[in-house]
Structure 1
């Protein structure tokens, strides 16, 4: 069985996360996707919502979606003061589950293009496959020769390869292009604009109840 991890700050979780993930379940034949909230993302601004609030929004977003679960290893008490390096998480998962278990890590094209800034990025495929979701405005190819050579060496166009090997492949999925970002949502909320079409209703209600992302807290 192929396990899939989907990391992010989820500040907040929105349809730009959920709709491509749902499409992946059908395209790749996943039985479950574990959402992996970061604690201290090394390459992004720190979350505005607290860890508890982000976790609450994740639970609300997926409570009627049994194909999703939440992996809290990066926000567990022992990791709260350390950056969330993906390679460390993958190594930990692999040590717990053995060398033969299938593991995929889901990321957007924007994250793929930034891989050369990641800690020990070339070793990621020693522990997992990478499933790449399309993002508006980002090309599949990159001008970074080293990164593109690495992609070419490991890319597969057959999703079955992800099931037949525990790690080592890069697969570009045909996920829907969702032009939604958490930055846009936070900005809209701060400007008192509605975002109810961009994220699940229960998450939207929670944001209002908590007064999140608004300069004028309610």
Structure 2
């Protein structure tokens, strides 16, 4: 059975932290691929700053140079709020030959008891937790833990830097920076 990692998020914008997490988990868990799934509207956050098309384009640019990374637009196509349970039900139905590993940061590990129908979700997916500054990687739920180099980057921090016209080189892939500038994203 092919093992697939799932990394969900708004990716507003995608950054090197996302790519590092995906690659470290892929190699540690011996995953065939990692699918990046941008949300349309996350259930636990405010709406994205940029439209879905721009986020998909930026994510495609960010992942293009890694043959093990794929962008999957299942949640964008559904639109509205996206719950992991709904997404995983569809993915399991479409891909019964694949075993899924849902990658989450330690902040989301702490939040797992509040996820929509978490007990049902555990039958559909294996969770992989990665460390994040300020959070403990502890849960009553079965979580595989992968140590990754600590890199404290957030999309909200990047949006703030971009609005202030500060440099994001070495934090965001060059192709994504070019796209952001060309499309005037994150400007005041």
Aligned pairs for 1:33-182 (under 5 A) are: 33-76=34-77, 79-80=78-79, 82-98=80-96, 101-141=98-138, 148=139, 150-151=140-141, 154=142, 170-182=143-155
Q: What is the CA deviation profile of residues 1-33 of structure 1, one whole-angstrom value per residue up to 9, with x for unaligned ones?
A: 211111110000001111121111221111210
Larger radius of gyration between Structure 1 and Structure 2: 1
Q: Distance in 1 between matches of 2:108 and 2:121?
A: 13
**Alignment gaps of 5+ in structure 1:** 142-147, 155-169
Match of 1:200 among 173, 177, 186: 173
Aligned length: 187
- Counterparts of 1:2 and 1:8, CA distance in 2: 20
Q: Equivalents in 1 of 2:151, 2:163: separation in Å?
A: 22
What's the TM-score, normalizing by structure 1? 0.82
| SS of aligned partner of 2:7 | strand
Q: Which runs of 5+ in 2 are unaligned?
A: none
Q: State which of 157, 163, 178 in structure 2 corresponds to 1:184.
A: 157
C-alpha distance in 1 between matches for 2:91 and 2:64: 24
1:168-191 CA distance string (max 9 Å, x none): xx2011112110000000001111
- Structure 1 Cα separation of the partners of residues 13 and 49 of structure 2: 9
Q: Please give the secondary structure, in 2, of the residue aligned with 1:126.
A: coil
Structure 1: 4+ residue segments shifted above 6 A: none
Aligned to 1:144: none
